[in-house]
A and B are shown apart, each in its own frame.
Chain A
């Protein structure tokens, strides 16, 4: 039995890395995000305000501090957590399902599809729920198209075909978005569209959080339930079927779940690129490829990363820097670094 004990020590280290590191990082980032800004609040005060609000008691701190932490920063931090976690989790699922660590909601055209749906919704002056619905439908149609093209072009490098198909579909959808921008009312609709396409959490309200929470939980449920099956779907299609997995059904469920999550996130934050590509990589490096560990790591790191970037976006300059600009400025160099240094297993 000494072999078991010897094996247990590295396993404990692995669990600590998979859960502990992201969790600590996440807590630190949330406290920081609630504290910094034009009106700084210290971590002990933040904890006191949050505890008092939750208990329904007065905190004994200035009302301004309470308002800033509870009314202004908390919904925004909450939105960052939800959107970041959703984008990272769906990125991890897409990378597994397409057996390719370089795919992401952006590269597969999900984001572009969801954008077109939402921009069309804004253009037609639809309700928020309808805009979210259109974003979801657009994302799903885009993934389905890219996937269909990928499987129709057999015999060639499937990864390359997938990425190129995603680029082409993304460009096509981008053209449609540009057309709608040209046609949109420049005073009412165009600012909303532009703001939305650059991505921002500035206008996120508590109501927004509650409106996307069900969709995100609905998408998360199959991911969590199928956490072990998900590993089998990263195998070659026939290999997985020969192992006894009904791949077609599971794949469909998980693609729908990941797309629902992405679309829900995009519907309140607009387009925030690169998180779905970057975070799953870091999560995999920390927690390994086993989806049962990868999923929680991606959720925590994704949420923490977006909150951190959003905090940077609102504090680094006198005016607020759009999120999409920052995530791209951080993500693109990281991606290139990954390309240049990728080890075999990371590909």
Chain B
């Protein structure tokens, strides 16, 4: 009888723990294991958004994009690492806000180099923005 009660308590606790984990775990942090919905260059991504933002939103918004381009600048001023991927267009760039769990230590050496970053597209303001990003290749 005592064993049965202990098993029920253990199962109940397990369900509570799993429920709490489900509600609080940030599944998007698993972006490293997710497949990209699209692969595109930074210049092309900016161009698509600049030409028809509504259409670009319908394609890319909320999706995981793997974007490649040259690192124009890196901004760490607001506590996050933002990597700016350049484009020949003057309209804007692609800004990749890195996931805090996957920030590299050698940021300075990246500027001017080619890089591939995967992140979730949140849309375009002055630049096209990817959040929760991780570096795939540099």
A and B pair up: no
Q: Please give the residue numbers on chain B whose beta carbons come within 8 Å of chain A beta carbons, in ascending order.
A: none
Q: Please give the residue numbers on chain A whose beta carbons come within 8 Å of chain B beta carbons, in ascending order.
A: none
